[in-house]
Amino acid sequence: MKKTPAPRLSLVIPVFNEEKNLALLHKEVRRVCDGLGFGYEILFIEDGSRDGSFAVLAALQKKDRRVKVLRLRKNFGQTAALSAGFDYARGGIIVTLDADLQNDPRDIPRLLDKMAEGYDIVNGWRRKRKDKFLTRRLPSNAANWLIALITGIKLHDFGCTLKAFRGEVVKSIKLYGELHRFIPAIASSIGVRIAEIEVHHRPRIHGKSKYNLFRFVKVILDMVLLRFLMSYSTRPLQIFGLVGLISGLGGTVLLAVMTYQRLFLQVGLGNRPLLLGAILLIVLGVQLITLGLLAEIQVRAYHEASGKPIYFVREVLDAERPRPRSRS
């Protein structure tokens, strides 16, 4: 079969247990993209759903040749699903959005218009979110503020999946862990232009949110890792040396204070277990943080040098193309 020319736009949509949303999402996306005036493809990444999502996607693919379906062998997570989509996408521009219908496909032309102004990444900002305050909006706002502070990238909504990327930019980024929300920050190190526009956010109609407070903790830990990788991955001595100096200075001050108390105030050192316990906890904390950062560096080198994939494809529904290789 003759291979069709590469489309200008690829839509990458990760799917996990969204059976009831997919048909309507496909209809909305088709309605918007048919009016763009150029070729596009809709790439669904079926990330190990336990409901009937794959059957719905298979039916959509049979009716619409623009639909491509990558079925992963198990639930690898959103980062791996997006990475698989980026690998497989052929469009010069890649737009990502969630499958839960909370992102509005009608915002896609606005993302593309902003990108036409010369930007490499256009980030969506869900300014008026239709989510619960305590469990969704509050931790998200806190995480966004911390991410902007630590990375120096002034965006309001790093967690919004609705984004537009130039293909050559996003395909050059290695993703693993939970780093998908940090793509703009990672890409900033190669000198891309980033913009942000307000997008609509709709209440969830079907299904359950995959977000919980534990995920917020993982975001914070990934943020610490990202800052380390952006600033100190090629010069780790600066960060470890700084921690060592602070720790050593603290120990020296404590030793000086205890020596002064022993010599001039006649305070004994043998009956102060709480002080020794506090010092032990501080040293243990420094050791654990240092060990964690070293382990993360090794994981990064392992993934990028060994070629170990972060996802495995079970099957592909696309008659025009062969099965893709897994991403390393």
Tokens for 275? 């002080």
- Report the SS3 class of residue 25: helix
Question: DSSP of 42-110, one letter per residue?
Answer: EEEEE---SSSHHHHHHHHHHH-TTEEEEEESS---HHHHHHHHHHH---SEEEE--SSS-B-GGGHHH
Check residue 85 and give its pLDDT.
94
Which residue spans within 176-270 are E strands per DSSP?
Answer: 194-198
| pLDDT tens digits, 81-105 | 999 999 999 999 999 999 999 999 9
Q: Is the pTM of this model over 0.75?
A: no
CA–CA separation, 186 and 180 (whole Å): 10
Check residue 328 and give its pLDDT.
45
- Phi and psi at residue 94, in whole multiples of 5°? -120, 125
Check residue 230 and give its pLDDT.
65
Check residue 299 and give its pLDDT.
59
Three-state DSSP string of 294-309: HHHHHHHHHHHHHCCC
Tokens for 121? 């990444």
Check residue 303 and give its pLDDT.
58
Which of 239, 211, 243, 213 has the alpha carbon at shortest distance from 225? 239
Q: Which residues of the chain fall short of a pLDDT of 50? A: 1, 234, 237, 328
- Phi and psi at residue 50, in whole multiples of 5°? -105, 5
Q: Are strands 67-72 and 40-46 parallel, antiparallel or unpaired?
A: parallel
Give the CATH architecture of domain 9-231+313-317: Alpha-Beta Complex (3.90)
Check residue 44 and give its pLDDT.
97
Check residue 232 and give its pLDDT.
58
CB 45, CB 57: distance < 8 Å: no
CB 130, CB 102: distance < 8 Å: yes
Check residue 39 and give its pLDDT.
94
Check residue 231 and give its pLDDT.
63
CA–CA separation, 263 and 265 (whole Å): 6
Which of 27, 197, 201 has the alpha carbon at shortest distance from 111? 197
Mean confidence (pLDDT) of the chain: 80
Domain residue ranges of the chain, discontinuous segments joined by +: 9-231+313-317, 236-306
